[in-house]
Chain A
Amino acid sequence: MITVKLFGLVRLETGIRELQIEAADLKQLQKELTQYIPREKIKGCVLLLNGSRAAGNTKLHDGDQVMLMPPVAGG
């Protein structure tokens, strides 16, 4: 089971902080996430696997954590 944590506007707009998803790789994970989050919102986020940016075909393992982070700026 993969823990997916949402941040930024995707969290505010869906009301979801965390999900538990079964997926073999990031690509499959993103597909599964469309059940909860609009596809274009997922595309608008950076996916971090256990703290590091990862590509779509990266394999996932039980206990992994994926964060959905939006680009931001401030002061």
Chain B
Amino acid sequence: MESKYAGYMGKVMLVDLTTETVTEYPWSDKERELYLGGKIMAARILCDHLTGKETAFSEENWMVIATGPLSGTGAPSSARFDISALSPQTGILASSNCGGSFGLYLKRAGYDAIILKGKCRSRKWLEIVDDQFIFHDADDLWGTKTGRCQELLAGKVSTKKFGKLCIGPAGENQVLYAGIISDERASGRTGLGAVMGWKNLKAITAAGTHTVEVYDKEKTKAWIKKWFEYLQKHPLTGSQLPKLGTAGLVSSMQACGLLSTRNYSAGQFEDFDKVSGETLAEEFNITNKGCQTCPIRCARTVEVHGKQVKGPELETLGLLGGNICNNDLQKILDWNYELDELGMDTISAANTIAWAMEANEKGLWDNGLKFGCVEELSAIFEDIAYRRGIGDELAQGSKCLSEKYGGKEFAMHAKGLELAAYEPRRAVGQGLGYAVSNRGGCHLNGGYLVILEGLGLHVNTQTPKAKADFTMLFQDLMETISASGQCLFTSYAFFPGFLLTKPNGLITRAVNAAATHIGWAVRFMNKCPRALALHLPVFHHTKMIKLALGMPMDFGRYIAIGERGYTMERYINCKFGITEADDKLPKRLTDVPQDPSNPKTRIPLEKMKRTYYAARGWDHNGIPTEATLHRLKIK
């Protein structure tokens, strides 16, 4: 349905893969005001559709590919799109964000989102060009790796310029942590590539003649210029991320005891500098690059097998570095590329390997894998993607394997999704985030509290105080940023630059000391967003929406949309049986101090969970109350 707001294309299409027919899905301005777009829009659609009886590999598992209203307006870092469906890894709602070109081109085709239902009767790829949805046979694409597939698509689509996404062999063979690739970017987590593979859908392309309208062109242009300048001057978004990428975190994580090592049995890796962002920059990086419209440009370009390709992010460096006791950085560059080509989540693949190494060491599973012995890993990754030998078992992920062989206490996942590279026993708020994150063990969906707990600022890392309230605030802010189509990294400039350029200064030290004592103030912000009917000078996002879309927006409304999205995702998960019992972490993190001489270096999860549920308006069992669901207009 057409919108009175700019930024939106006004159409959401329901694509029936079984019958190859397309109808419009009703979506009004009321929904746009409540959910904005992207992952929250997808959550609403799936909330209305899913009953709790569906499974990931079923025709009723709808896959929603949704853009945000700021995509195409020129707003900084606004090329991101979201893919949501039930995850085969977790059995609950999954949403995975991506910076590839597909989202922008989907809007050029005239659509804010597409919903894929059913299953193709044979192997297909889908071409979208304006109002045409054309199903093509994919027999000649099936079996190709993601790079080759995208090359072949260029020769097949009817337009010169187009956006694309595809799966690799891992998705085709339903590896539980298969991802979806768009250009060189990944919708990596939660196994949505396997869902697409089950649906017999190899790829989707989009192209078109539509343009994204902007409400107040002049003021939007001026605001974009101002925001670009702010991001480029900020120490995180203007210096660290462009010059070192996320790889720049390895050394700081090492210093803080946050670098997962030997399957999270420690937080520091002796050879960390061999796989650090500094070494990557000094010896391997060719240039940095970014997603469209992004001034931050955090991606690396490196050489692998004689080709210039996208380099690894922090997660891959950490989890294929110290976490498997590997200090060979070139190998990590190679594996990163190979995993993208195969279409697999590097985080889950790496964590599963680490679990398998420990299981072998402990005599639980004779798989031949050993910490530090990594010569055969390229072949192992291929075996996983093609489901050969032990690869067929490794394709199940650490949760399933630990249920079969034992070793649950060191299967490092939450709700079935393997954890990120941040070892949380030295950042207990991050531990809470992993446990309660809606999609499973995700550091970002979990709130990314490490930015307070040692990486950006340095609050008391071991106290549970205020952590639940900050977690909720950060989760909600990030939820709305994603829903608008923007990158989460734009939120890092929320911290005034001087706090970061003067970490030993009086004000920074005061902020660090006070932060864990102001949970009540953060709770107030979370509970009373209407009191925050203003624009904050350090948070440009709200005015961006107001000027580009013509939609009323302020900081309070922005948080409220995020809160609605987060609780709605939880509500969906509760339909599938998620309760407080599932918000847990491996015993290694809750029962075993990282430093044996300091009992505080483990996660006091239960205490933080109770505070978190109360802050969210969920009952003691972690289920959103009826009052909360009505207050948030979810019911």
Taking Cβ atoms with an 8 Å cutoff, the residues of A that contact B are: 7-9, 11-12, 17, 40, 43-48, 51, 53, 56, 67, 69-75
Distance between A2 CB and nearest chain B CB, rounded to angstroms:
17
* Chain B residues with CB below 8 A from A40, complex form: 501
Contact of A69 with B252 at beta-carbon distance under 8 Å, contacts A9-B243, A12-B244, A12-B278 already known: yes
Contact with A along B529-553 (1 / 0, CB 8 A): 0000000000000000000000000
User: Which one, B105-113, B359-367, B449-457, is touching chain A?
Assistant: B449-457
Which residue of B239, B246, B282, B505 contacts A74 across the interface (Cβ within 8 Å)? B246
Distance between A17 CB and nearest chain B CB, rounded to angstroms:
8
**B457 to chain A: closest residue by CB:** A71
Q: How far is the CA of A52 from the CA of B239 in the complex (A)?
A: 25
Contact of A73 with B243 at beta-carbon distance under 8 Å, contacts A8-B278, A44-B503 already known: no
Contact of A8 with B235 at beta-carbon distance under 8 Å, contacts A46-B458, A46-B504, A72-B240 already known: no
Which residue of B246, B282, B448, B504 contacts A12 across the interface (Cβ within 8 Å)? B282
* Chain A residues with CB below 8 A from B249, complex form: 72-74
Q: How far is the CA of A44 from the CA of B560 in the complex (A)?
A: 35
A69 and B251 form a contact (CB under 8 A) = yes
A8 and B255 form a contact (CB under 8 A) = no
Q: How far is the CA of A75 from the CA of B448 in the complex (A)?
A: 8
* Chain B residues with CB below 8 A from A70, complex form: 235, 240, 252
- Which B residues, 230 to 288, have Cβ-Cβ distances below 8 Å to chain A? 235-236, 239-241, 243-246, 248-249, 251-252, 255, 257, 276, 278, 281-282
Q: How far is the CA of A66 from the CA of B464 in the complex (A)?
A: 29
Taking Cβ atoms with an 8 Å cutoff, the residues of B that contact A are: 235-236, 239-241, 243-246, 248-249, 251-252, 255, 257, 276, 278, 281-282, 298, 313-315, 443-444, 448, 451, 455-458, 488-489, 492, 499-505
Distance between A35 CB and nearest chain B CB, rounded to angstroms:
20
B503 and A74 form a contact (CB under 8 A) = no
**A70 to chain B: closest residue by CB:** B240
Tally of contacts, chain A with chain B, CB under 8 A: 98
Distance between A22 CB and nearest chain B CB, rounded to angstroms:
22
B244 and A9 form a contact (CB under 8 A) = yes
Chain B contact residues, majority secondary structure: helix
Contact of A74 with B314 at beta-carbon distance under 8 Å, contacts A7-B251, A8-B278 already known: yes
In this complex, which of A44, A45, A47, A70 has the most chain B Cβ atoms within 10 angstroms of its Cβ? A70
Contact of A72 with B255 at beta-carbon distance under 8 Å, contacts A8-B244, A44-B235 already known: no
Distance between B172 CB and nearest chain A CB, rounded to angstroms:
28
A71 and B455 form a contact (CB under 8 A) = yes
* Chain A residues with CB below 8 A from B456, complex form: 71-73
In this complex, which of A8, A43, A74 has the most chain B Cβ atoms within 10 angstroms of its Cβ? A74
* Chain B residues with CB below 8 A from A74, complex form: 241, 245-246, 248-249, 298, 313-314, 455, 489
**B444 to chain A: closest residue by CB:** A75
Given contacts A69-B252, A72-B455, A74-B489, 15 further A-B contacts (CB under 8 A): A7-B251, A7-B276, A8-B240, A8-B252, A11-B278, A12-B281, A51-B257, A67-B255, A69-B255, A70-B240, A71-B499, A72-B244, A75-B246, A75-B448, A75-B489
Which residue of A8, A67, A75 contacts B488 across the interface (Cβ within 8 Å)? A75
B492 and A46 form a contact (CB under 8 A) = no
Which residue of B236, B257, B488 contacts A72 across the interface (Cβ within 8 Å)? B236
B239 and A9 form a contact (CB under 8 A) = yes
* Chain A residues with CB below 8 A from B235, complex form: 44, 70-71
Distance between A36 CB and nearest chain B CB, rounded to angstroms:
16
Q: How far is the CA of A22 from the CA of B536 in the complex (A)?
A: 46
Distance between B373 CB and nearest chain A CB, rounded to angstroms:
28
* Chain A residues with CB below 8 A from B504, complex form: 43, 46-47, 56
Q: How far is the CA of A70 from the CA of B455 in the complex (A)?
A: 8
A-B CB contact pairs (8 Å), 7 listed: A8-B240, A44-B503, A73-B249, A74-B249, A74-B314, A74-B489, A75-B314
* Chain B residues with CB below 8 A from A69, complex form: 251-252, 255
* Chain A residues with CB below 8 A from B276, complex form: 7
B503 and A45 form a contact (CB under 8 A) = yes
Contact of A44 with B255 at beta-carbon distance under 8 Å, contacts A8-B278, A9-B239, A12-B243 already known: no
